[in-house]
Amino acid sequence: MNRHVSTLTITLPDWLNARLTAPIRLPSDEDRMRFVIDLARTNIAQGTGGPFAAAVFRSDDGVLVSAGVNSVTRLTNAVLHAEVVALMFAQARVGAYTLRAANTSYDLVTSCEPCAMCLGAILWSGVQRLVCGATRDDAERIGFDEGPVFPESYAYLERRGITVVRQVLRAEAANVLDHYRRSGGVVYNG
Amino acid sequence: MNRHVSTLTITLPDWLNARLTAPIRLPSDEDRMRFVIDLARTNIAQGTGGPFAAAVFRSDDGVLVSAGVNSVTRLTNAVLHAEVVALMFAQARVGAYTLRAANTSYDLVTSCEPCAMCLGAILWSGVQRLVCGATRDDAERIGFDEGPVFPESYAYLERRGITVVRQVLRAEAANVLDHYRRSGGVVYNG
């Protein structure tokens, strides 16, 4: 065992930082999902992590606030699923621990339905809309465990004012997962 | 909105780093829980966050691997519940994204039953034993939402080989929560 660690540094991959230097604005759910799916695909191609990506957008005008890609293997940290990364960076950028603000609403767009941890993180994040691409079944088919997520879990979020939209560009999103399996990608849970 | 953020730095409070420089070894669940409850109490007293703390120990000999305190307000990051902080630092110290190793087993000891996000993080962390102090009811009594955690959620963890032990020093652990409410602490979710 190494010595006591007093600081963790969480970075985005260089290729992702390079894409985020200029402002991005994507008004439709389909355009936002296409952006996120492309990040997931690039995360595989660049060898920087698992086949999942997510991003936070301002609901009304589609301005991109943050993006995240799965970083579990790259940063040896099981918490760093794409949704968690995107939410942490969104909170840092907005400068608040909740995105629930009086005058602005935020969406989390994710290439796959969230696992149990990410579903909880979404609840605490303050986003008011969750848009998903691939389904739990698509993730499980390639060996990823999604954990204890039940219909009641989504109902809980909806009672807290979070709108859930599913299966936006599902086929394209699921294709990325299947590609990951075929390319021999590491399944880091399940 | 600020400019694009490319790096997040996650620190422990200075008072906690100071306590972790020398090795700590606590063989019994009660001793480990007493340690964690004291961290939760100190987190309130020092004004560094919410009334929750957690730590990872090697199961067999009780050597402390990492500790975390709730850091949501201090680091403006809703993901940084005590359990998540302790798990992230444990993975960094061990140098692996999972604590499930062939020859060593790890326990997570937490001052309160985990919220939905932390329960998922515990599943992915590779710890094989979860020891809790205060209960969900104790947390909710002072205004904290624990999110979609159901009996089936714990059953899911247990099927994955995680032993759950509850209500270790519950009264002392719940006292810290009540103290937080009386002192006017911020309730950052729920």
Residue B60, number of CB atoms within 10 A of its CB = 12
pLDDT reported for residue A80: 98
Categorize the per-residue pLDDT at B158 as very low, low, confident or very high, splitting at 50, 70 and 90: very high
Q: Answer yes or no: do A97 and B77 touch at CB < 8 A.
A: yes
Mutation for testing the A interface, residue in B7, B11, B74, B79 having most A CBs under 10 Å: B79
The arithmetic mean of pLDDT across residues A63-81, rounded, is: 98
pLDDT at A117 over 60: yes
Q: Which two tokens stand for residue A149?
A: 């997520």
Categorize the per-residue pLDDT at A101 as very low, low, confident or very high, splitting at 50, 70 and 90: confident
State which residue of chain B sits closest to A22, comparing Cα positions.
Answer: B4
Closest approach of A96 to chain B, Cα-based (Å):
5
Q: For residue range B111-128, what is the model confidence (pLDDT) as tens digits?
A: 999 999 999 999 999 999
- Confirm whether A30 is a catalytic residue: no
Q: For residue range B31-74, what is the model confidence (pLDDT) as tens digits?
A: 999 999 999 999 999 999 999 999 999 999 999 999 999 999 99
Residues of B taking part in catalysis: 83
State which residue of chain B sits closest to A155, comparing Cα positions.
Answer: B148
**Residues B7, B41: contact at Cβ < 8 Å?**
no
Q: Which residue has the tokens 């790259």?
A: A74
Q: Answer yes or no: do A94 and B10 touch at CB < 8 A.
A: no
Catalytic residue among A83, A113, A146, A172: A83
- The CATH number of B27-180, from 2.30.38.10, 3.40.140.10, 3.90.1150.10, 3.30.70.100, is 3.40.140.10
Q: Which residue has the tokens 């004004």?
A: B47
Q: Answer yes or no: do B97 and A188 touch at CB < 8 A.
A: yes
pLDDT at A74 over 90: yes
pLDDT reported for residue B101: 82
Q: Tell me if residue B89 falls in helix, strand or coil.
A: helix
Alpha-carbon separation of residue B170 from A113, B20, B135 (angstroms)? 35, 24, 7
CA atoms within 13 A on the CB side of B42: 19
Closest approach of B130 to chain A, Cα-based (Å):
16
State which residue of chain A sits closest to B58, comparing Cα positions.
Answer: A1
pLDDT above 90 covers what percent of chain B?
A: 93
Q: Is A16 left (phi over 0), alpha (psi -120 to 50) or beta?
A: alpha
State which residue of chain B sits closest to A18, comparing Cα positions.
Answer: B6
Closest approach of B138 to chain A, Cα-based (Å):
19
Q: Are strands A106-112 and A129-134 parallel, antiparallel or unpaired?
A: parallel
Which residues in chain A belong to E strands, given as ranges? 7-11, 53-58, 64-69, 106-112, 129-134, 163-165
Residues forming a β-bridge with A107: A57, A129
Q: Answer yes or no: do A97 and B76 touch at CB < 8 A.
A: yes
pTM: 0.97
Domain ranges of chain A: 27-180
Q: Answer yes or no: do B124 and A78 touch at CB < 8 A.
A: yes
Closest approach of A13 to chain B, Cα-based (Å):
9
Mutation for testing the B interface, residue in A2, A88, A93, A146 having most B CBs under 10 Å: A88
Categorize the per-residue pLDDT at A54 as very low, low, confident or very high, splitting at 50, 70 and 90: very high
